[in-house]
Amino acid sequence: MADVTERMLALLSTLQTGRAYSGDELARRLGSSPRTLRRDVERLRGYGYPVETRPGPGGYYRLRAGRTLPPLHLDDDEAIATLLGLAALGATGPAAAGGLDDAATRAYGKIDQFLPARLRPRAAAIRASLDTRRSAAPAVAPEHLATLAAAIADRETVVFAYTDARGRASTRRVHPYRQIHQHLRWYLLAWDTGRADWRVFRADRVTELLRTGAHYEPRPLPADSAVGFLQRGLDIGKQRVDVLVAAPLERVVDALAYQHAELTAYDAEHTAVTVRLDTWQWLVGALAFLDTDFTISAPADFLAGYETFAKRVLAAVAARSASCPPTHSHSP
């Protein structure tokens, strides 16, 4: 019975991803035979889970969407991850009604209604014990992200009004490819039909979003990933700086946690860091917090800035030392 229960939970957990699986793929994932898989699927249906089956070539198993389901099955780790993810998402944005953060907060408060009874006390304990700091981020409507996701899946052209960073308004007609989440911002990577080129749009600057029903032929992505393309655009005009830090990787990761930096363990005691910067000043604070030795390779104007700053600090320390009267100790 324990083996059957474990197998059923594994099957349900796999189907709840929303994907369609062929019988062979599902059997391989679960380590069971096709005959056992068919019996387990029938058991799930008996418990009220609407498992859809299409036999023959191209056939599949999937959990049908849009139906009332029995209590959500999450194991302990999945329940904790879900609650923490919703809490983190709920702490971003301006706390305005209708935003993604608002939806996450409401879902966070309701999730115990969908959990099995054995997990509800643990979920309640996590919710009561957890506090998160709100981070400023532009609000994005959940329906916008859902509409774009559906259009990407269906390879469907969308149109929208867009206001760029300078406040200029335009109407765009695009082939949407990927949504990107980076530094508390949501972006859309798309082929802009009016510009005949790839563009990245801030999702919070998109309004009047509409699907057109017109489908497009996909193009290869213009980079290894949508994130890579976005970062390449963000790095335009920035200067490359390479730093060899006399500290292990885990220490350097903490100091640069909120910055885009390429980190490589040079050896057990040194970390190679590559950053791209608008100005030399940004790196000073991060290196000061590391409190260790380092060497810098950078463009000449950046190196001159670091040298000038270092001289100013030394001069300030020397002036302070010279102005302080000597301290004498007195014997009783």
> What CATH number should be reported for the domain holding residue 25?
1.10.10.10
Q: Are residues 273 and 209 in the same domain?
A: no
The pLDDT of residue 332 is 45
Radius of gyration of the chain (CA): 27
Relative orientation angle of helices 120-129 and 76-90, to the nearest 10 degrees: 30
Give the residue carrying structure tokens 């999450």.
74
Q: Is the pLDDT of residue 123 over 80?
A: no
**Last residue in a domain, options 170, 198, 232:** 232
Task: With respect to residue 327, please indicate whether it lies within any of the assigned structural domains.
Answer: no
CA dist., res. 187 & res. 232, Å (int)? 14
CA dist., res. 205 & res. 203, Å (int)? 5
The pLDDT of residue 319 is 76
What one-character DSSP code corresponds to residue 145?
H
Tell me the average pLDDT across 155-171.
93
What one-character DSSP code corresponds to residue 59?
-
For the stretch 67-101, pLDDT in tens is 555 555 666 777 778 877 887 777 776 655 567 77
Residues above pLDDT 90, as percent of the chain: 20
Q: Are residues 52 and 106 in the same domain?
A: no
CA distances in angstroms from 256 to 75, 89, 252, listed in the order given? 33, 21, 6
**Last residue in a domain, options 173, 197, 232:** 232
Q: Are residues 165 and 224 in the same domain?
A: yes
Query: Per-residue confidence at 168, pLDDT binned at 50, 70, 90?
Result: very high
Q: Are residues 82 and 107 in the same domain?
A: yes
Bridging pattern class, strands 156-163 and 185-192: unpaired
- Out of 114-128, 267-281, 317-331, pick the least confident: 317-331
Structural domain containing residue 306: 239-320
pTM: 0.56
Tell me the average pLDDT across 31-52.
85
- CB neighbours of residue 224 within 10 Å: 8
CATH of the domain at 193: 2.30.30
Question: Alpha carbon 239 to chain centroid distance?
Answer: 26
Task: With respect to residue 137, please indicate whether it lies within any of the assigned structural domains.
Answer: no
Q: What is the DSSP string of 17-45?
A: T---B-HHHHHHHHT--HHHHHHHHHHHH
Work out how many domains the chain is built from and give that number. 4
CATH of the domain at 256: 3.30.70.120
